[in-house]
């Protein structure tokens, strides 16, 4: 009995393994009752279902043969009780194997017919991606990547074009486009000579002359390009923060395409950093969003040079999901404090809350604007009275200020001058508290050197206006110890604050 079960299992596994190479076979497959047949256009799901059914038929046939042998053995050897017993055992095992096989088939068919007839579910409106010679009625299924076109039999027979077929009822404007990367060499190599093509419904692209290719659907996210204006080699969609941008894009991204999903409520944005760690302070870009004059686009192309400075090189990126819902959907806003642990009632610190309606979909103000002045009215101390009385006077850190008659920390810009000379009670270390999900970025403008390497190997050094930043998404009790937003070796001052509501 054990040998019979093992035999059935081996036969079943051998038949299933044949499905993996079915595409390369030129054969006529017989029609099986309740199973159907295999045609030239059959996909992997049809092959699996066909061989599963064929295995059921073969298992039944083997059970009948085994039962017959057992019956003959029992009849012909009645004079030998031991041999007759073996024959009866064979008959019982055959019957049991047949019952188990039929029971498995019936149970699976009853629970869910898809278990024995699997299908590959395409994107809505998409019928499939196929090889073609040019005749759109003569189609062959194609995988999403082929590492060596020269070794692909179906392509060698003249099926050297890719056809992106959609269903007849599909709205072409609603179907996710298909991206094809065509590499000049096998194994997806030869980046410099790679061409990238985007196909819509009904699009046909030739892969003749390519060494390899891969495909992906153009889903929402951030796409990197090695050339400006979204030209040249491009990446697939990126939707999460990357502390080390992968090759070949490390330090070489020139432009990005942001693809949003209006229907799904997904809107992406990015801040690129020169540090290989997006959480640390470094030279950076302004927030890159698919917007212009408050118009939100489903997709847009932007050059990094428009959001940064001459010589900027990106090594990491903070990617965020921009919340364009109601103002309060991200939370209660953000609080800035004039000293460390500002929300601690025992700390003598001024505060400024930026409420959701003021943040809106995007907030940006100068760090010493009136809208960001710290409020000391709730502090019942001499410091509170001093800061309240001096609200129209310059901060103590500014040139010409009378330190005996002014507020030591009136604006976030005063965080730039935190010093041990100021007592802890009236210090200006700074802190941030979050009342929801927001991305707060502190920007500092400064002048620094940029080294440019020429093609001949020489170097040139330029003094350029740069920008430095650090982003925060959680409570930060002490800005001076939990990451500096100021470039070291400079006397630069915090320039502006950005707040973006995120998911």
Would you call 135 exposed, middle or buried from its count of C-beta atoms within 10 A (0-12, 13-18, 19+)? exposed
Q: What is the pLDDT of residue 112?
A: 47
CB 290 within 8 A of CB 299: yes
User: Is the pLDDT score of 120 beyond 60?
Assistant: no
- pLDDT, tens digit, 9 for 90 and up, residues 1-41: 444 444 444 444 444 444 444 333 345 566 666 555 565 44
User: Would you say the C-alpha torsion 407, 410, 416, 420 has a positive or negative sign?
Assistant: positive
Most confident of 166-175, 423-432, 447-456: 166-175
Radius of gyration of the chain (CA): 35
State the Cα–Cα distance between residues 303 and 285, nearest whole angstrom: 11
Mean of pLDDT values over 154-180: 91
CB 443 within 8 A of CB 467: yes
Identify the weakest region by mean pLDDT among 63-72, 110-119, 142-151, 245-254. 110-119
Confirm whether pTM is higher than 0.75.
no
Tokens of 426: 């009236």
State the Cα–Cα distance between residues 6 and 3, nearest whole angstrom: 5
Q: What is the pLDDT of residue 414?
A: 85
State the Cα–Cα distance between residues 98 and 61, nearest whole angstrom: 9
Q: Name the 3-class secondary structure at 469.
A: strand
Q: Name the 3-class secondary structure at 44.
A: helix
User: Is the pLDDT score of 420 beyond 50?
Assistant: no
State the Cα–Cα distance between residues 300 and 187, nearest whole angstrom: 31
Most confident of 77-91, 129-143, 220-234: 220-234
Q: What is the pLDDT of residue 26?
A: 43
User: Is the pLDDT score of 491 beyond 70?
Assistant: yes
Q: Report cis status (omega within 30 of 0) of the bond before 248.
A: yes
Interstrand relation of 231-234 and 431-436 (parallel, antiparallel or unpaired): unpaired
- pLDDT, tens digit, 9 for 90 and up, residues 308-349: 999 999 999 999 999 998 989 999 999 999 888 888 867 778
Please report which confidence band the pLDDT of residue 419 belongs to, taking 50, 70 and 90 as the band edges: very low
Could you tell me which of 491, 494, 473, 493 has the C-alpha nearest to residue 482?
A: 473
Spell out the domains of the chain, with CATH numbers in brackets.
2-115 (no CATH), 122-218 (2.60.20), 219-322 (2.60.20.10), 328-498 (no CATH)
CB 10 within 8 A of CB 102: no
State the Cα–Cα distance between residues 243 and 154, nearest whole angstrom: 41
State the Cα–Cα distance between residues 209 and 149, nearest whole angstrom: 9
- pLDDT, tens digit, 9 for 90 and up, residues 445-487: 999 888 877 878 788 888 899 999 999 999 998 887 655 678 8
Could you tell me which of 171, 60, 154 has the C-alpha nearest to residue 105?
A: 60
Identify the weakest region by mean pLDDT among 101-105, 286-290, 367-371. 101-105
Would you call 375 exposed, middle or buried from its count of C-beta atoms within 10 A (0-12, 13-18, 19+)? middle
State the Cα–Cα distance between residues 441 and 496, nearest whole angstrom: 9
Q: What is the pLDDT of residue 41?
A: 44
Average pLDDT, the chain: 82
pLDDT: which is higher, 125 or 145:
145
State the Cα–Cα distance between residues 389 and 406, nearest whole angstrom: 8
């Amino acid at each position: 009995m054990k040998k019979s079960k093992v035999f059935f299992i081996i036969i079943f596994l051998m038949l299933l393994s044949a499905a993996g190479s079915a595409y390369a076979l030129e054969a006529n497959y017989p029609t099986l009752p309740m199973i159907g047949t295999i045609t030239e256009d059959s996909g992997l799901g049809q092959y699996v279902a066909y061989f599963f059914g064929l295995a059921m038929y073969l298992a039944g046939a083997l059970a009948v043969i085994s039962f017959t042998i057992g019956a003959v053995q029992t009849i012909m050897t009645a004079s030998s009780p031991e041999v007759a017993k073996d024959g009866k055992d064979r008959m019982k095992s055959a019957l049991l194997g047949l019952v188990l096989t039929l029971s498995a088939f019936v149970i699976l068919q009853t629970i869910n017919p898809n278990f024995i007839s699997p299908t590959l579910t395409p994107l809505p409106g998409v019928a499939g991606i196929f090889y073609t010679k040019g005749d759109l009625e003569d189609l062959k299924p194609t995988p999403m990547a082929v590492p060596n076109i020269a070794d692909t039999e179906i392509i060698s027979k003249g099926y050297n074009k890719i056809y992106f077929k959609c269903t007849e009822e599909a709205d072409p404007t609603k179907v996710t486009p298909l991206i094809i990367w065509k590499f000049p060499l096998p194994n997806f190599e030869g980046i410099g000579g790679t061409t990238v093509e985007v196909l819509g419904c009904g699009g046909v692209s030739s892969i003749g002359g390519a060494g390899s290719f891969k495909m992906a659907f153009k889903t929402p996210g951030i796409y990197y390009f090695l050339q400006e204006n979204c030209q040249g080699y491009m990446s697939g969609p990126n939707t999460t923060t990357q502390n080390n941008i992968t090759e070949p894009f490390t330090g070489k991204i020139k432009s990005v395409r942001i693809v949003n999903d209006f229907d799904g409520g997904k809107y992406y944005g990015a801040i690129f950093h020169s540090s290989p760690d997006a959480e640390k302070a470094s030279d950076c870009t302004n927030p890159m969003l698919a917007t212009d004059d408050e118009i939100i686009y489903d997709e847009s192309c932007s050059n990094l040079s428009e959001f940064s400075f001459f010589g900027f090189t990106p090594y990491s990126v903070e990617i965020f999901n921009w919340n364009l819902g109601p103002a309060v959907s991200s939370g209660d806003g953000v609080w800035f404090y004039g000293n460390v642990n500002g929300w601690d009632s025992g700390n003598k610190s001024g505060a400024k809350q930026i409420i959701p309606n003021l943040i809106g979909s995007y907030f940006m103000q100068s760090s010493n604007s009136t809208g960001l002045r710290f409020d000391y009215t709730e502090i019942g101390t001499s410091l509170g009275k001093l800061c309240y009385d001096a609200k129209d006077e310059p901060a103590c850190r500014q040139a010409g200020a009378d330190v005996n008659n002014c507020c030591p920390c009136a604006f976030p810009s005063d965080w730039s001058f935190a010093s041990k000379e100021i007592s802890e009670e009236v210090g200006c270390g700074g802190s941030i508290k979050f009342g929801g999900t927001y991305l707060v970025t502190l920007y500092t403008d400064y002048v620094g050197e940029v080294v440019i390497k020429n093609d001949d190997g020489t170097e040139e050094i330029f003094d350029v206006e740069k920008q430095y930043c650090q982003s925060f998404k959680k409570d930060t009790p002490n800005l001076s110890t939990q990451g500096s937003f100021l470039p070291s070796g400079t006397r630069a001052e915090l320039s502006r604050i950005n707040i973006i509501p995120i998911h």
